[in-house]
Structure 1
């Protein structure tokens, strides 16, 4: 028994756009203030996450803002040959500034602009909302380059992303630009059906949590975007009921261990890796969402 088409259509709706845009602009203006202690450094500010990718739903709260330090970069050269490593070493210059210092200065500046309720979290700095401004997470990070070749002449082969360290000291490398660009390309390749489908699945996940089909935290939005990016383009066609069934069939037929995150750099499903969906959580979600669908979204409470 499928979930009604009208309900699925409601779940494709995008959440607040104007309020999130205004929040981003307020945070951006504060971070760009010429009086900040880091202003003379080179940095970029941009959105990431649901609001940055237009996959936000009404239940989404935090606006994710990235401030990326470009004055320095961090590197992974573990893939280089001995000769290429020597080429890299000849060009290496030790920086006199660090991401840790940058994060400290960004945090203190945000406190001066928005008050003492601004708090550092495990990864980002939390800026609580006020009035019409939504909650925001500000992530200070730096450029990260993973090198695969470093010839004596010509351009090196590399992946460029961002790096930051979690509160427990874990190094995390993300590729948010590639994630966003690939989601946009998928959206265009599917006749603008990809992002509404992601929103539909996110709302379904939230309802599944409410109805006891799924525990909170099992299926983060980032992984749902990555999961659906692996469904064949032809799946995003017909009714929304058709789209759900076609996407699920496509994903079930795919080899789980070959599924990729939307950035097309990390594998989607792997155990023991910060950037990957654990095997048990992936399997739990796939089983739960199919049961929820087969039950017709059977509910204990009224639809929201």
Structure 2
């Protein structure tokens, strides 16, 4: 579809981090790995940076630290005391890098420029580097499985199959949800990414603005309510459940997305470029 929105204007809404920020993330990982050592821990980057879905204003880096010698296939869950011991051990090793604080699921380092979250974990696979891994929430007192390696691999495959449009769309939708919901956890990034992953590759065929309208419309068609099934990108379980993406939050997300889609569609119909930009900004809550 031809429209009056110039490509560079729309791309600014899905801009990835600058090379300097990427270099800083790699440096923090190297420092953490050096402090923890390879004998006791396997470390790797996870989250938006490693999955190439981070936005330009990325200010946090997630690093997983899998403890060797714990877990494994068929292993019993760790006790709360064992998790507390593991968190303290990781924090003590990282202390030379700066002050640290135990958060719900991570050790948070206060470093200049970029916040570094180190997630202690154990692997339930045959080796510490295999999925699934298990992390722990002190808030809920529960362990939770994650499949970070599978997530990363399938994300790359989806990106290749869509000529890069998938991850570009993920960044655009993440920017949209930040504009609409701020820090409220109405549409957490992992759920949003999984939602976009569930859509057919052929929908990622136009320019970024057209894709936003097409994808938003398909989400509304496939998920007209909070009832249904949404699979993880890798792993098991339904994300449209009370323990994951709850019904109230999902309904609010769908409602705001429908309004944004109407504004973005109007932007594509406008002949005048300034009016088109104005309608596009309306879709992004005036941003």
- TM superposition score category, shorter chain reference: 0.7 to 0.9
Q: Is the 8 A contact 2:162 2:204 kept in 1?
A: yes
The aligned residue for residue 148 of structure 1 is: none
The aligned residue for residue 18 of structure 1 is: 20
Q: Is the 8 A contact 1:66 1:139 kept in 2?
A: yes
Between Structure 1 and Structure 2, whose CA radius of gyration is higher? 1
Pick from 258, 262, 266 the counterpart of residue 294 of structure 1.
262
1:57 aligns with 2:55: yes
Cα distance per residue 1:232-268 (max 9 Å; x no partner): 1011011223212221233233355232122252322
Q: Is the 8 A contact 2:260 2:284 kept in 1?
A: no
2-structure distance, mates of 1:175, 1:3: 42
Cα distance per residue 1:115-148 (max 9 Å; x no partner): 3x31110111111122xx5111010101025xxx
The aligned residue for residue 245 of structure 1 is: 213
1:165 aligns with 2:136: yes
> Alignment length, in residue pairs?
258
Relative to structure 2, which stretch is displaced further, 262-271 or 171-180?
Answer: 262-271
1:198 aligns with 2:167: no
1:102 aligns with 2:86: yes
**Relative to structure 1, is the Cα distance of residues 236 and 39 closer, same or farther in structure 2, using a 3 angstrom cutoff?**
closer
Q: Is the 8 A contact 2:158 2:201 kept in 1?
A: yes
**Relative to structure 1, is the Cα distance of residues 136 and 16 closer, same or farther in structure 2, using a 3 angstrom cutoff?**
farther
1-structure distance, mates of 2:285, 2:195: 28
Q: Displacement of 1:223 after TM fit?
A: 1.1
Q: Is the 8 A contact 1:74 1:144 kept in 2?
A: yes
Relative to structure 2, which stretch is displaced further, 13-22 or 161-170?
Answer: 13-22
Cα distance per residue 1:203-249 (max 9 Å; x no partner): 11122236xxxx72111111111110011101101122321222123
Q: TM-score, normalised by structure 2?
A: 0.79
2-structure distance, mates of 1:75, 1:282: 34
The aligned residue for residue 280 of structure 1 is: 248
The aligned residue for residue 220 of structure 1 is: 188
2-structure distance, mates of 1:32, 1:236: 40
Q: Displacement of 1:300 after TM fit?
A: 10
Q: Displacement of 1:100 after TM fit?
A: 4.2
The aligned residue for residue 254 of structure 1 is: 222
2-structure distance, mates of 1:260, 1:99: 28
**Relative to structure 1, is the Cα distance of residues 56 and 234 closer, same or farther in structure 2, using a 3 angstrom cutoff?**
same
The aligned residue for residue 84 of structure 1 is: none
Q: Is the 8 A contact 1:99 1:142 kept in 2?
A: no
2-structure distance, mates of 1:118, 1:64: 14
Pick from 90, 97, 107 the counterpart of residue 114 of structure 1.
97
1:47 aligns with 2:45: yes
Q: Cα RMSD over matched residues?
A: 3.0
1-structure distance, mates of 2:284, 2:163: 35
Runs ≥4 residues deviating over 6 A: 299-302
User: Normalized per residue, which structure has more helix?
Assistant: 2
1-structure distance, mates of 2:231, 2:284: 35
**Relative to structure 1, is the Cα distance of residues 56 and 99 closer, same or farther in structure 2, using a 3 angstrom cutoff?**
same
Q: Is the 8 A contact 1:45 1:66 kept in 2?
A: yes
Query: Tell me, which stretches of 5 or more residues in structure 1 are unaligned?
Result: 78-91, 146-154
1:125 aligns with 2:107: yes
